[in-house]
């Protein structure tokens, strides 16, 4: 099952989580140092809803930001 919005094309994006150690300079330390940088996925909030398109009703996968901004009409 794909996690892609059928309206705006929003999909998974690769990013990273940074782990830092040390005491910050403004607290009297020598600064924060990066210890680990691991990859992660940012997944969109995709909902399967019934959408009214013209005179027909069909099921679509739409992100919540498109639903909130009234880009589609719910059936």
pLDDT digits (tens, 9 = 90+) for 43-52: 999 999 999 9
Find where tokens 């140092």 sit.
33
Summarize the confidence of residues 49-73 as an average pLDDT. 94
The pLDDT score that the predictor gives to residue 1 is 64
Give which of 15, 16, 46 is closest to 34, Cα–Cα.
16
Q: Where are the domains positioned within the chain?
A: 13-68
Q: What are phi and psi of 36, to 5 degrees?
A: -145, 140
Q: pLDDT tens, 8-20?
A: 999 999 999 999 9
CB 38 within 8 A of CB 17: yes
Mean pLDDT of the chain: 94
């Amino acid at each position: 099952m794909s996690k892609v919005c059928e309206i705006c094309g929003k999909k998974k994006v690769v990013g990273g989580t940074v782990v830092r150690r040390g005491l910050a300079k403004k607290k009297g330390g020598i600064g924060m140092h990066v210890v680990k940088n691991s990859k992660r996925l940012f997944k969109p909030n995709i909902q399967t809803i019934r959408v009214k398109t013209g005179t027909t009703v069909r099921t679509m996968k739409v992100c919540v930001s498109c639903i909130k901004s009234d880009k589609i009409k719910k059936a």
